[in-house]
Amino acid sequence: MLGNHINRDTRHLSITSYIKETISDYHAHSLNMSTAAIFVSNPRGLQIILKDEEGEELKQFINKSKMSIIAHSSYVAFLWTKEKTKEATYLKFVLKELAVCKEYNISGLVIHLPKEGILKQKYIQKIMYKLINAIVAINASTTTTLPIIYLETPAIIPMYANYDTADKLSRLFHIIHKLGGGIGSNLFGLCIDTAHIWTSGNDISTYDGAKRWFTELMDAPYIPHDKIIIHLNDSERELGHGPDKHASLTKGKIWEKYQTRGQLKTSGLFFIMEFAKKYNIPLILERRNKEMLAYDYIVVNKLQQLL
């Protein structure tokens, strides 16, 4: 399952129109798009932007195409804030985003994890507990399935990384399991950003390196193995360095050594493609620049021919 994060532009088309344009771009490169990511809210504010006719158009498209659409939460609604006065506001807004996703058949909502570790910071556990309780309450009051909340690995340098390995992520989801009394864990998934875990010092450049990281993840307990998505990004930064900046596949520091088909077959990128195909995991390309995306399509084409 491959797709893009869909970006709006100054033409102000409906989000469904932008999705259809991207599908056409895929077809022009002999690729199929079966998933996509969108914003249902202003990424830099606390306003819902997917409303009424536009939402209904998207819902009809999803129902007809069976495409998996996943939303990304607003960057402003940072749940893990230390500002007590904003905590309730942000939680309320994320639940509002979740309600919009449910209304228009959007299958999930991505939320960035905090820099701080949940094991060390009690205030993060308290916020997670409030989030789980709120979602469990909503789930109990409806007969339809709620969208999955995907917790995304943050781009944090190794010294401060708390969610970048199988062991750390297993502990996170174990806490979610306990806080939700075994129920909450069914409502959460994991979003892995390849550029972010690279920033955190995990070398996934080689086939064996990526295989080791993802195999440990799938072997770890409490990880929601059936609820994983991957943001497939190269990085302009060296291993273990930030700030996060995405690059086209094989144009960044992760996979720049792998250009030919023969080289690609030994890359971590190829393993991730194999892994995603085996477990039917959505892969999302996060690039705004169309030239960068066009290069991604060429690389993905090479990789798919090797599968």
HEC profile for 83-136? Answer: CHHHHHHHHHHHHHHHHHHHHCCCCEEEEECCCCCCCCCHHHHHHHHHHHHHHH
**36 token code pair:** 């996509």
Report the number of secondary-structure helices (H) and strands (E) in the chain. 10, 10
Contact 247, 291 (CB under 8 A): no
Task: Give 276's pLDDT tier (boundaries 50, 70, 90).
Answer: very high
Question: Which of 65-69, 101-105, 180-184, 229-233 has the lowest average pLDDT?
Answer: 180-184
- How does strand 246-247 pair with strand 234-235? antiparallel
276 C-beta neighbours (distance < 10 Å), count: 20
Domain extent at residue 143: 2-306
Reported as half-sphere exposure (CB side, CA atoms, 13 A), residue 68 has a value of 18
State the pLDDT at residue 119. 67
User: How many domains does the structure of the chain reveal?
Assistant: 1
In tens, the pLDDT along 144-154 reads: 788 999 999 99
Cα–chain-centroid distance for residue 236?
19
pLDDT at 140: 75
Average pLDDT over residues 67-95: 94
Which CATH number does the domain housing residue 188 bear? 3.20.20.150
Mean pLDDT of 82-94: 92
Confidence (pLDDT) at 71: 98
Structural contact between residues 111 and 75, judged by C-beta atoms closer than 8 angstroms: no
Nearest to 41 by CA among 92, 2, 113: 92
Whole-number Å distance between alpha carbons of 176 and 154: 18
CA 86 from chain centre, in angstroms, equals 24
Task: Provide the pLDDT for residue 50.
Answer: 96
Is residue 222 a contact partner of residue 185, using CB atoms and an 8 Å limit?
yes
Residue 115 pLDDT: 87
pLDDT in tens, 17-41: 999 999 999 999 999 999 999 999 9
Q: How far apart are CA 231 and CA 204, in angstroms?
A: 14
Res 182 pLDDT > 90: no
CA-to-CA dists, residue 301 to 85, 205, 247, 262, 295, angstroms: 49, 19, 17, 14, 10
Query: How far is it, in rounded angstroms, from Cα 246 to Cα 163?
Result: 19
Residues 69-92, mean pLDDT to the nearest whole number: 94
Residue with tokens 């804030």, as numbered in its chain: 81
Q: Alpha-carbon distance 307 to 289, whole Å?
A: 27
Q: What pLDDT, on the 0 to 100 scale, is given for residue 293? A: 96
Mean pLDDT of the region 265-281:
98
**How would residue 98 be classed by pLDDT, with cut points 50, 70 and 90?**
very high
Percent of all residues in the chain with a pLDDT value above 90, rounded to a whole number: 84
**Burial classification of residue 28, based on how many CB atoms lie within 10 Å of its CB (0-12 exposed, 13-18 middle, 19 or more buried):** exposed
pLDDT: which is higher, 84 or 203: 203
Tell me the three state secondary structure of residue 246.
strand
pLDDT of 183 above 80: no
Report yes or no: 200 and 161 within 8 Å, Cβ to Cβ: yes
Q: What is the pLDDT of residues 219-235, one digit of tens each?
A: 999 999 999 999 999 99
What integer pLDDT is reported at residue 154 of this predicted model? 95
From the list 296, 261, 276, the residue with the least C-alpha distance to 68 is 276
Give 38 or 83, the one with higher predicted confidence: 38
Choose between 203 and 127: higher pLDDT: 203
Q: How far is CA 103 from the centre of its chain?
A: 20
Overall pTM surpassing 0.75 (yes/no): yes
SS3 26: helix
pLDDT at 148: 96
| C-beta of residue 143 within 8 angstroms of C-beta of residue 188 | no
Taking only the tens place, the pLDDT of each residue in 36-68 is 999 999 999 999 999 899 999 999 999 999 999
Question: Residue 41 in contact with residue 73, Cβ under 8 Å?
Answer: yes
Q: Quote the pLDDT of residue 84.
A: 85
